[in-house]
Chain A
Amino acid sequence: MIKPLVLLVDDEVPFVETMTKRLKKRDLVVNVAFSGQEALDILDKNRNTDVVILDVKMPGMDGIETLSKIKKSYPLIEVVMLTGHATVESAIEGMKKGAYDYLMKPCDIDQLMQKVEEATQKRQVHEDKIREAKVKEAMSVHGLE
């Protein structure tokens, strides 16, 4: 299985650093961004990113806004929200805008890993299906069927 490529977005630098180490130790390839804008830039360079782990509360462009921009430009990339709020509302809003799932901070690393793996799988399945569809289309166009 290919190592999932993850983008971790949070404005808390120590949190990002530690989390990166822990995720890398669990065989993930991790990119980091400290703001919504930076996250969009990195995604532009790394189109093959599988999952974005996104903090809801950030200065400037917040998690929800970043989420909707990601989903607009890269609909196949899955997003797991991290929320510091006990409010279910922001999580629900995130889910409505297309987030894969949400977790509350501080979160259990195993739970997070589980979500990331599920999301990656989902993305893989989607991509496979799209690839299959494209192949079928191409075959039908060339009259190979």
Chain B
Amino acid sequence: MDRNKQKQNGYYYSLTRNMLLVIILVSIMPMIVVSSLILYEFDISYREKVHAHLEEVVLKHKNDIDIFLKQKLSDIRLLAKTFTYKELCDESFLQERLEVMQQIYGPVFVDLGVINAQGVQVAYAGPFKLGKALYSKANWFQMAMKSDYFKSDVFLGLRGLPHFIIAVRESWRSESWILRATIDFVAFNNLVENIRIGETGFAFILNKKGEFQTKPLFDISPNNKPYVDFLKDSNKFQDGICIVEKADNSGNKVIYVAALLKHGEWLLVYQQKSSDAFSDLRRTLRVTIAIVLLAGICIVAIAFILSKRMVNRVAEADREKEMITEQVVETGKLASVGELAAGIAHEINNPVAIMVEEAGWIEDLLEEEEFKDGENLSEFQRALQQIRTQGKRCKEITHKLLSFARKTDSRIQDVQLNELIEELIALSAQRAKFSNVDIHTDLQGDLCTIQISQSELQQVLLNLINNALDAMEKTGGTLNISSQLEGNFIVVGVADDGPGIPGANLVRIFDPFFTTKPVGKGTGLGLSICYGIIKKMGGDIEVRSTVDVGTTFSVKIPVPKNEDQTGN
């Protein structure tokens, strides 16, 4: 039994598990596939977008810076062309020009200087005291003397501050002179420093040697591999711009965007950590993962609940099926017992008939003259009478058994219940008188007719009345028979004040073959048949009994719905 139960539990467990797995698989797989596909596509397009955006920004700034440098150069060239060497050598005039330029262009130009072919600064206007300084050894001077104009890298120079120089060469009386302007490092630096995106994105400029031309926002080494790569291989630049993504020293992925400036002499580099650049993407990823996880948890929970519930239903259905099977088997057993009983009853009937006839024949013969004076005549007659009585008993038993096996007249008729009860009381009146029982009736007068098998109902009520009379046979008493309408039922009550039925017997009185009468007195089928008949009618039969007080049987008979149709 226990093992069987265990086996069943195992079956339900595996059923639950399989259902759980199938539901989860079917629900989660498409979700994961779809969301990862979308995420992948989104990732690609977003990266492209970010790259394009960065390229755009860097390209724009490169152009800005190029234009800035070109403009400053043009300004200085204009100044050099417009005025003569003589005029510019006048320091107060030069000072005037510087102020004009500062007024127009802002504090971009820090100072102006005029240098002759020997490298001596002839005139100077500006905040530093650099009059008559000698530049003949300076790198920029030598470079400037070779071409028409020159833009230097950033250097510290004589003043010890980072700056860079724009120099324009002009000739006066077949001798070259140079107009030099210092560009404010801060103003230039701002151009680059303003390129800021996100938290880690910043830009700076390197020269060919890998030296910083602007101050980088963060502390970085100019010898980083990507910068060197950019400087070495200028073929990589398409449309003047190049974008790579590499891990830096600490392992974080960094995007580098580079563009060449100043005819390839300078390199504008923009760098930003990937995590920062793609922060939106990462946020989307996080949100997606969170949603997928949440949905997954929901699916698992629902799958769990659903499969549990389904399996419970299945288990319940299985239990019900088992119960029904048991009932069917039980009913089948009972039916076969009934059939067997009917067969036996029928077979016994014939021999009994013969026995009774033979006894009757002997009785006939006893009436002949020769036996009239026999001394045992009365004894013979008593014995024959006994045979006849017992034969009748056999007949009764077999008839009851047969009616148990197959129902008697079950044709539906219109029955007026009160009339039926009165008839039955008349039938029982004689017996009641012998048992010293008073029969009282309490019948509701206006009961409608009911559609029912008259003989079956007679059988039931007669059985109950006979039982009550049997119970009161020795003591006498009162039998109360009542009828009344209660809702959709007519309730017929048969109440005696006999000895009552003990509780242990009370639960078994409707079982077939249960009887408390002495052997040979009762078959134990009466109430069982009654129960079957009333149940078949759709009614109910109940019993209340108290020992020494009495027993009440209540028979509930269903009433047709349209009650007003009386007498039809």
Contact = CB atoms under 8 A, between A and B. Distances in A.
Given A21-B361, A22-B360, A25-B364, A88 B353 contact: no
Contact of A86 (B354, B364, B398): B398
A88 B399 CA distance: 11
A21 B368 CA distance: 14
A85 B346 contact: yes
Chain B at the A interface: mostly helix, strand, loop or mixed?
helix
B18 interface: no
Interface string A88-109: 1100000000000000111101
A14 B350 CA distance: 10
Given A86-B403, A106-B356, A106-B391, A18 B349 contact: no
Contacts of A88: 408-409, 455
Interface string B354-369: 1111101100100000
A119 to B, nearest CB: 20
Contacts of A15: 350, 353-354, 357
A18 B346 contact: no
Nearest to B401: A86
B350 A18 contact: no
B402 interface: yes
Given A14-B354, A105-B350, A22 B364 contact: yes
A87 B405 CA distance: 11
A106 B364 contact: no
Contacts of A65: none
Interface in B390-418: 391-392, 395, 398-400, 402-403, 406, 408-409
B62 to A, nearest CB: 116
B352 interface: yes
Contacts of B402: 85-87
Contacts, number: 60
B399 A86 contact: yes
A105 B346 contact: no
A27 interface: no
Given A15-B354, A106-B357, A106-B391, A84 B364 contact: no
Contacts of B409: 88-89
B406 A84 contact: no
Contacts of B353: 12, 15, 84, 105-107
A104 B391 CA distance: 13
A84 B399 CA distance: 9
Contacts of B349: 84, 105-106
Contacts of B361: 18, 21-22
Contacts of B398: 86
Contacts of A22: 357, 360-361, 364
Contacts of A86: 398-400, 402-403, 408
B408 A87 contact: yes
B408 A84 contact: no
A18 B408 contact: no
Contacts of A14: 354, 358
B458 to A, nearest CB: 12
Contacts of B403: 86
A19 B352 CA distance: 14
Interface in A50-103: 57, 84-89
Size band of the interface chain A makes with B: 20 to 34
B354 A87 contact: no
Contacts of B356: 106
B386 to A, nearest CB: 15
A80 B350 CA distance: 18
Given A88-B408, A88-B409, A106 B358 contact: no
Nearest to A105: B353
Interface string B61-102: 000000000000000000000000000000000000000000
B352 A106 contact: yes
Contacts of A105: 349-350, 353, 395
Contacts of A18: 354, 357-358, 360-361
A86 B459 CA distance: 14
Contacts of B358: 14, 18
Nearest to B347: A84
Contacts of B350: 12, 15, 84, 105
B406 A87 contact: yes
Contacts of A12: 350, 353-354
A86 B397 CA distance: 11
Interface string A1-38: 00000000000101100110110010000000000000
Q: Which of B353, B391, B455: most chain A CB closer than 10 A?
A: B353
A84 B353 CA distance: 9
Nearest to B400: A86
Contact of B357 (A19, A87, A104): A19
Nearest to A18: B357
A22 B366 CA distance: 12
A21 B358 CA distance: 10
A80 to B, nearest CB: 15
A103 to B, nearest CB: 11
Nearest to B349: A84
Nearest to B455: A88
Nearest to B367: A25
Contacts of A19: 357
Contacts of A85: 346, 402
A21 B363 CA distance: 12
B344 to A, nearest CB: 13
A86 B408 CA distance: 8
Interface string B188-219: 00000000000000000000000000000000
A7 to B, nearest CB: 17
Contacts of A87: 402, 406, 408
Given A84-B349, A87-B402, A104-B399, 6 more contacts: A18-B354, A21-B364, A22-B364, A84-B346, A87-B408, A88-B409
24 contacts: A15-B350, A15-B353, A15-B354, A18-B354, A18-B357, A18-B358, A19-B357, A21-B364, A22-B361, A84-B349, A84-B350, A84-B353, A85-B346, A86-B398, A87-B408, A88-B455, A89-B409, A104-B395, A105-B349, A105-B353, A106-B353, A106-B392, A106-B395, A109-B360
Interface of B: 346, 349-350, 352-358, 360-361, 364, 391-392, 395, 398-400, 402-403, 406, 408-409, 455
Give 4 nearest A-B pairs by CB, closest first.
A106-B353, A86-B399, A106-B356, A86-B402
